[in-house]
Amino acid sequence: MTARADLPGAPGGVATGEPVGDATCEPVGDATCDAVGEPTGDAVGRAGLLWDAAAAGDEYAAVDVVVAALDDGMDMESLLMDVVAPVQARVGREWAANRITVAQEHTITAVNERVLAALALHPAARGSAPTRPAPHGPAPRSPAPHGSAPARPRGRVTVACIDGEWHAFPARILTEVLRLRGWRVDHLGAQVPTPHLIAHLHRTGPDVVALSSSIATRLPAAHAAITACQATGTPVLAGGAAFGPDGRYARLLGADAWAPDARSAADGLDAGLPPRPAPGRQAVDDLPHLDDQEYTLVVQSARRLVRQVMDGLRERIPAMAAYTPQQLRHTAEDVAHIVEFLGTALYLDDPELFGGFLAWTGEILAARGVPARVLLPALDLLAERLTDFPRTSGMLAYGHETLRAATTDARRAPADDGSGGGA
Amino acid sequence: MTGATSEAEHGPAGTVWRSAPYPVLLVGGDGVIEHVNDAARALPAMAAPGVPLADAVPAWLAEAHRLVTEDASGSAAPVRGLIGDRAFEAHPAPGGGSRVTWWLVDATDHERVAEALRLERKRTAFLAEASNELLSSLNLDRCMEVTVRLAARHLADAALVILPAAGRRHPVAYCGPDGRVVRENPVVDPREVPGLAEALRGFPPVPSRWIDPAAAPGWLARDELGEPGSMVVTALPGHGVPAGALVLLRRSDHASFSEGEEVFARLFAARAGAAMSAARLYAEQAAITETLMRELLPPATRGLDGVELAARYRPAGATELVGGDFYDLHPAAEPGGESLLVLGDVCGKGLEAAVFTGRIRTTLHALLPVAGDHGRLLGLLNDVLLRGDSRTFVTLVLASVRRDGPRATVRLTSAGHLPPLVLRADGRVEEVATRGTLIGMLETVTATTVTVELEPGDTCLLYTDGVTEARGGPLGDELFGEQRLREELEQCAGMPPEALTERVQMLAAQWTGGGDHDDVAVIAITAPRAGRGTLPPGVGVS
């Protein structure tokens, strides 16, 4: 559990939420990016070309790939959903398998964002309806040139990422798809503080707000944002890997709608807006188990728990005496992530979330040549310090069992290529 | 005979029975009344011994008696009904043989109180719901929609909110019996509607009975409603001036508005008007703030003539948009010229600090002609700030950037600010050795300017102490620090500038976790790698 990059910083957000319930399936990255239908072979080929260009940091070649796709008759939405989004989803997979570095994942994301920006300016993003007048002036980045046909927009949508959520790409894709379909979209971008979001809702009064989150540990913040949006009478559409592959956490946290990807989200909104939520609901109404205060107590003592576990690890693992400061820091960060996911699992009362995180972390470590069982002593030390909390103890026992089973399987399957794709 | 009469007069229980405060009827198996007490004689009914019950009491009681006598189980629940104009609860008590004694309890007052309570509870629940919904939004359109929807559902068959004219048009929200809200902006004359012009100008309400609903124009009483039966026009009280007017319409087959209902409608209108006024005030304040704030927000980043550029800014407070960190870009006047970039940090946080950054940015803009000499520029800025009335100071970095073939030349001067870092394409991180005094405190300022050559793929990073002084980390109490920043940057070689600035901002934010953080501003200036160049203006990620 050393010498590796920070977990939740991984663009693509595969970390999180995604492996819940089935840690052996291939991570799908940002759920909002992934197409539901099978992309055509043509799209898969172009996605490969775009990946190569982005991985080389060559945005000119990358823009050429997508412009060529449009010139060859691919429609803009398919291009976004079946070529651009899969490339972004692949970033998370490649990082997890240790095939790209943190610098590369940021570079690929930056190039892909430039591709999106270039596509938003492309005439195809302005729709092909001949009756529409040309947009006035060049006005780059203005929302005006978007939207396919209707002179009157279908409705107004606010798209935002949860506070603390850095993965802006799935939300960007949704924004572009909704604009293509004629919605008026206010795109607020990454990590929007909830007070800013609510102020925006009061000012603009949208028909619906779409909230994106890729990292499961943002779910408590997502819950606060969902409730606050609904308190203004604005229905919430939730999306992103954090809400679970089947949207289970979106339902649990009271979102008015959930969509697995941008295309389904747009289809859902086209079919009809969710009804306005009734005011007066509070976050704790959804999660009565929070009454036991275990979530609050664990989260409030998180830093102290990390220090105690680090002290305990130094006693139990003599090799740690030889760790470099950087190795020690990575170890402490791993422990901090474990505590953070434990808190989130307590918030949602879902041991599978915790188990899934540990199994996924085990794969990440394995891909970097570190045996996943190094996490077990940290779990034991946590359990020793949290014996007074029955729900927490249950989570830790479940996590321990999940991780032990995963490492046993890995030892029995020496043919594993170490790609992290299967345990 | 005498004995029988005595029994008939006094009943089986004697005088107790006779003087009972409730009417009592003893009915024989043949359905004929055998005994009545004094209270029963006072009933507005023909109850007397020897009279068949069916002839003496209303049908509901006779029917109840039939059911009681037919029901062998003997169990019978009390029944309710009117005798004359009073409400009674009749309790049957099986007597000897097939006789039944009916005890009648006068429930008139009880029912009246219960009905009043039910109505009051309904109104309270409605007002609570209305307050909840109205208070939840600070959006005027939404408040109008909520108002007409609630009014049409609870108070009338259809409702309209009419706002004071904006120009010649009145914003209108209409909700009909189907609960669907329609928004319009028609040109209408409020004087066409009895009471409307008065309500919009804040005069006391015109009583409903004075308003002839047949006179209402078509945009008000719509076809779906049929012939309107009654109408209420009431002002929506605002902050000194009415927020608008509320019109309630009822069909002709619906009871017209009672005085109590009109008073209640005004109670509702008071809440709706307060909510709409607050929403209007919020919108006005937000518009003012937005206008004033526009000058203080950081500018959009663009590529400079052959040099890639990205900048990011995040204010400290979750509720703030601006703070004490700032940056500014001044592209070269002509191709091949020098562009000036500024990144700085004024003492303090929040709006006051932001206003000060605005003054500094404006002053620097005016001093652009001397940007060729950083020392002179800083000296002039220092003079301006010392002459000003503010007791605060600023640290900043000036970067003059010029494209030089495939390379970029950057002249850097720090005035009391953290030294810039240069990240080479191979991962080496170098600190730029520029030093200077902060601005706005001392009579004279000194600074050294250092010129750096950026080879293709090299990046120069300017940042504020919000990055290095971020406190947190896995153990919760460590500074992020310059050393950690340099180690992280070593892993970032070759990143495009927008990826690099995002990475730096993300590291600082994750380091603090959910804890407090300071303002953070970051600028990255990159000499494009071979084969890469800047995208057209506006394409860069801000």
pLDDT of the residue at A12: 32
pLDDT of the residue at B538: 35
Report whether A58 contacts A50 (CB < 8 A). Answer: no
Of B494, B533, B538, the CB nearest to A57: B494
> Hey, what amino acid is at A341?
F
Residue A10, pLDDT above cutoff 60 = no
> Hey, what amino acid is at B91?
H
Does B227 fall in a domain?
yes
Pairwise CB contact (< 8 Å): A111 & B496: yes
Residues A336, A341, A342: CA angle, nearest 5 degrees? 95
Q: Which of A264, A265, A228, A259 is CA-nearest to residue A246?
A: A259
**Same-domain status, A187 and A218:** yes
In sequence order, what are the residues at sequence separation of 6 or more whose Cβ sits closer than 8 angstroms to the Cβ of residue A111?
A53, A54, A57, A58, A59, A62, B496
Which residues of chain A lie closer than 8 angstroms to B279, CB-CB? 202
**Same-domain status, B378 and B498:** yes
pLDDT band at A337 (very low <50, low <70, confident <90, very high): very high
Nearest-angstrom CA–CA distance, B8 and B29: 16
Q: How many Å lie between the alpha carbon of B26 and the closest alpha carbon of chain A?
A: 56
**Same-domain status, B420 and B286:** no
Residue A50, pLDDT above cutoff 90 = yes
Mean pLDDT of B226-254: 90
**Same-domain status, B282 and B314:** no
Indicate the SS3 state at residue B482. helix
Residues B438, B441, B446: CA angle, nearest 5 degrees? 45
In sequence order, what are the residues at sequence separation of 6 or more whose Cβ sits closer than 8 angstroms to the Cβ of residue B255?
none
Q: What is the ipTM of this complex?
A: 0.77
Question: What is this structure's pTM?
Answer: 0.80
DSSP 8-state symbol, B214: G
Residue B137, pLDDT above cutoff 50 = yes
Residue A22, pLDDT above cutoff 50 = no
Render the burial of A265-284: b for 16+ CB within 10 Å, e for the rest: bbebbeeebbebbebeeebe
Read off the tokens for A137.
Answer: 């002036």
Pairwise CB contact (< 8 Å): B474 & A306: yes
Domain boundary among A92, A126, A160: A126
Beta-ladder partners of B143: none
Does B203 fall in a domain?
yes
Read off the tokens for A255.
Answer: 């979102």
Alpha carbon B64 to chain centroid, angstroms:
56
Report whether B346 contacts B356 (CB < 8 A). Answer: yes
**Same-domain status, A254 and A301:** no
Does B95 fall in a domain?
yes
Residue B292, pLDDT above cutoff 70 = yes
Does A9 fall in a domain?
no
Nearest-angstrom CA–CA distance, A64 and A44: 16
Read off the tokens for B266.
Answer: 């005004």
Complete edge-to-edge strand list for the sheet that includes strand B407-415: B325-330, B339-346, B394-404, B407-415, B449-454
Report chain A's terminal Cα–Cα distance, integer Å.
17
**Same-domain status, B338 and B448:** yes
**Same-domain status, B372 and B503:** yes
**Same-domain status, A80 and A66:** yes
Number of domains in chain A: 3
**Residue A110, number of CB atoms within 10 A of its CB:** 26
**Same-domain status, A154 and A210:** yes
Is A224 buried (19+), middle (13-18) or exposed (0-12) by CB count in 10 A? middle
Nearest-angstrom CA–CA distance, B32 and B54: 8
Q: How many Å lie between the alpha carbon of A254 and the closest alpha carbon of chain B?
A: 18
**Same-domain status, B197 and B96:** no
pLDDT of the residue at B72: 64
Pairwise CB contact (< 8 Å): A202 & B282: yes
Beta strand B100-106 pairing with B24-27: antiparallel
For residue B250, which phi and psi values (nearest 5 degrees)?
Answer: -120, 145
**Same-domain status, A201 and A232:** yes
**Same-domain status, B513 and B414:** yes
Nearest-angstrom CA–CA distance, B143 and B161: 10
Does A132 fall in a domain?
no
Q: A260-317, pLDDT tens digit by residue?
A: 999 999 999 999 999 988 877 777 788 999 999 999 999 999 999 999 999 999 998 8
Residue recorded with tokens 């100071």: B393
**Same-domain status, B350 and B379:** yes
In sequence order, what are the residues at sequence separation of 6 or more whose Cβ sits closer than 8 angstroms to the Cβ of residue B124?
none
Helix H or strand E encompassing B471: strand B471-472
Does A3 fall in a domain?
no
* pLDDT, chain B, mean: 87
Pairwise CB contact (< 8 Å): B496 & A193: no
Nearest-angstrom CA–CA distance, A165 and A8: 10
Beta-ladder partners of B197: none
Read off the tokens for B70.
Answer: 């037919």
Residues A214, A218, A222: CA angle, nearest 5 degrees? 95
> Hey, what amino acid is at A372?
A
Mutate to test the interface with A, among B134, B138, B519 (most CBs of A within 10 A): B138
Nearest-angstrom CA–CA distance, A322 and A309: 18
Q: Specify the CATH number for the domain of residue A401.
A: 1.10.490.20
Pairwise CB contact (< 8 Å): B502 & A203: no
Q: Which domain does B435 fall in, by range?
A: 308-526
Pairwise CB contact (< 8 Å): B487 & A205: no
Mean pLDDT of B214-230: 87
Q: Which domain does A265 fall in, by range?
A: 146-286
Does A245 fall in a domain?
yes
Q: Specify the CATH number for the domain of residue B23.
A: 3.30.450.20
Q: A138-171, pLDDT tens digit by residue?
A: 333 333 333 334 445 689 999 999 998 889 999 9
Which residues of chain A lie closer than 8 angstroms to B136, CB-CB? 231-233, 279
Q: How many Å lie between the alpha carbon of A67 and the closest alpha carbon of chain B?
A: 15
> Hey, what amino acid is at A421?
G
**Same-domain status, A295 and A326:** yes
Pairwise CB contact (< 8 Å): B476 & A303: yes
* pLDDT, chain A, mean: 82
Does B12 fall in a domain?
yes
Pairwise CB contact (< 8 Å): B539 & A114: yes
Q: How many Å lie between the alpha carbon of B514 and the closest alpha carbon of chain A?
A: 8
Residues B312, B318, B321: CA angle, nearest 5 degrees? 55
**Same-domain status, A97 and A155:** no
Query: What is the sign, positive or negative, of the torsion defined by CA atoms of A308, A311, A315, A320?
Result: positive
Q: Specify the CATH number for the domain of residue A86.
A: 1.10.1240
Read off the tokens for A253.
Answer: 């946290």
Q: How many Å lie between the alpha carbon of B337 and the closest alpha carbon of chain A?
A: 25
Report whether B225 contacts B157 (CB < 8 A). Answer: yes
Domain boundary among A260, A286, A312: A286
**Same-domain status, A349 and A273:** no
Which residues of chain B lie closer than 8 angstroms to A202, CB-CB? 137-139, 279, 282, 286
Interaxial angle between packed helices A194-204 and B259-294, expressed in degrees from 0 to 180 and rounded to the nearest 10? 120
**Same-domain status, B11 and B136:** no
Does A133 fall in a domain?
no
pLDDT of the residue at A136: 39
Q: Specify the CATH number for the domain of residue B199.
A: 3.30.450.40
Q: How many Å lie between the alpha carbon of B478 and the closest alpha carbon of chain A?
A: 11
**Same-domain status, B220 and B350:** no
Q: Which of A349, A343, A360 is CA-nearest to residue A306?
A: A343
**Same-domain status, A260 and A176:** yes
Read off the tokens for B333.
Answer: 């006047």
Of A166, A202, A303, the CB nearest to B475: A303
The better pLDDT of the pair B70, B12 is held by B70
**Same-domain status, A389 and A346:** yes
**Same-domain status, A167 and A276:** yes
Domain boundary among B77, B106, B135: B106
Q: B171-191, pLDDT tens digit by residue?
A: 999 999 999 999 999 998 998
Does B218 fall in a domain?
yes
For residue B393, which phi and psi values (nearest 5 degrees)?
Answer: -140, 175
Report whether A51 contacts A382 (CB < 8 A). Answer: no
Which residues of chain A lie closer than 8 angstroms to B281, CB-CB? none
Does A421 fall in a domain?
no
A-B CB pairs within 8 A amount to 133
Residue B75, pLDDT above cutoff 80 = no
DSSP 8-state symbol, B217: -
Does A364 fall in a domain?
yes
Q: Specify the CATH number for the domain of residue B372.
A: 3.60.40.10
Does B346 fall in a domain?
yes
Interaxial angle between packed helices B140-154 and B108-135, expressed in degrees from 0 to 180 and rounded to the nearest 10? 160
Nearest-angstrom CA–CA distance, A4 and B167: 64
Does B297 fall in a domain?
no
Nearest-angstrom CA–CA distance, B199 and B234: 6
pLDDT band at A37 (very low <50, low <70, confident <90, very high): low
**Residue A109, number of CB atoms within 10 A of its CB:** 26
**Same-domain status, A151 and A278:** yes
Mean pLDDT of B450-469: 95
Domain boundary among B291, B320, B341: B291
Does B498 fall in a domain?
yes
Mean pLDDT of B361-377: 94
Report whether B452 contacts B460 (CB < 8 A). Answer: yes
Does A334 fall in a domain?
yes
In sequence order, what are the residues at sequence separation of 6 or more whose Cβ sits closer than 8 angstroms to the Cβ of residue B91?
B78, B102, B103, B104, B105
Return the residue of B nearest to A300 by Cα: B514
Read off the tokens for B199.
Answer: 């309500």
Return the residue of A nearest to B538 by Cα: A140
Read off the tokens for A163.
Answer: 């506070």
Domain boundary among B106, B139, B165: B106
pLDDT of the residue at A142: 34
Number of domains in chain B: 3
Domain boundary among A271, A286, A301: A286
CA distances from B400 to A144, B310, B332, B335, B410 (A): 35, 15, 9, 14, 5
Of A103, A114, A117, the CB nearest to B493: A103
Mutate to test the interface with B, among A104, A114, A169, A313 (most CBs of B within 10 A): A114
**Same-domain status, B231 and B350:** no
**Same-domain status, B96 and B244:** no
